[in-house]
Amino acid sequence: MTASLELRHIDIHGHRVGFRGAGSGPVIVLVHGMAGSSTTWRSVLPALAEKFTVIAPDLVGHGASEKPRGDYSLGAFASGVRDLLVALGHERATLVGHSLGGGVAMQFAYQFPERCERLVLASSGGLGDEVNLLLRLLALPGAEYALAVGCNRWIHDAGVSIGGWLAHVGLQPTPNLEQIWQSYGSLADTETRTAFTHTLRSVIDVAGQRVSAADRLYLAAAVPTLIIWGDHDKIIPVEQGRATHAAIPGSRLEIFAGAGHFTHCDQPDRYCEVLTDFMATTPPATTSASEWQARMIARTS
């Protein structure tokens, strides 16, 4: 893997996929959240690449990857991550998923257990019903038309200008606000907005999160699992992180005091320290598909 963290592209199944990759050593895949991209990891990528082979994809429909009319389910995203690893010549990896990316990481471990060495769930989706009200409202029929009006380039550029002015007078936006604003700005593009809507409705409806891994968390006991959450998360409540820790025997829980939904942006140094320690002190899982099957059978017998 090269030392460059610049965005690159690779053609997979006829679709252009963007990713960033650097470093050498054990492979870590960083999976971003909804309406995000690989740029969300810029605060932690350089430090992690000093010790690991780090791959940060733009999921299909996000960032610099193509946005086809197609499948935006967790299973499809997980298959896309698997295909990228295969295309880059990597057999196995530690999956680090943030928000929607946590759901993708869990789905990857479920679909391809022989390829998942460790699992890191940061402010992860798919672990409970509750989620921010705005996301529930955006899943309503017709909400895409409101998005088309509210998420336009003029409004976003005006916000960038205001942010620059605030920084000039010493009022720096918080990392969480910057990430939310970047995600908002990406929705000014029609194709990205359409992909966002399809992705959102595959995991969220007006009642909350509609995809849950709760009934399969027992399988995660076979994989070293780290759970990271900010205690000021306003998107997905930290209680879901605590409940998941209790449900996965042997898992680790790290609560970042004062951090919001984007822990890797709020406290990047601690994020890298915690992840590096987790990698150093846990052996990679070697679960085969047959062992995964045996665990499922034992659960039902």
The residues annotated with a catalytic role in the active site are: 99, 233, 261
Q: In whole angstroms, what is the distance from residue 48 CA to residue 1 CA?
A: 13
CA 226, 126, 35, 238 dihedral sign is negative
Q: In whole angstroms, what is the distance from residue 196 CA to residue 36 CA?
A: 10
The kind and range of the H/E element at 31 are strand 27-31
183: closest CA among 3, 37, 60? 37
What is the strand order of the sheet 225-230 is part of? 8-12, 15-22, 53-57, 27-31, 93-98, 116-122, 225-230, 252-256
Q: In whole angstroms, what is the distance from residue 66 CA to residue 285 CA?
A: 32
Grouping H, G, I as helix, E, B as strand and the rest as coil, residue 232 is: coil
Rg, C-alpha atoms of the chain: 19
Q: In whole angstroms, what is the distance from residue 165 CA to residue 154 CA?
A: 17
60: closest CA among 39, 41, 81, 42? 81
Q: In whole angstroms, what is the distance from residue 281 CA to residue 21 CA?
A: 24
How far is the CA of 253 from the CAs of 10, 111, 176, 268, 278, in angstroms?
35, 24, 21, 17, 11
Amino acid sitting at position 80: G
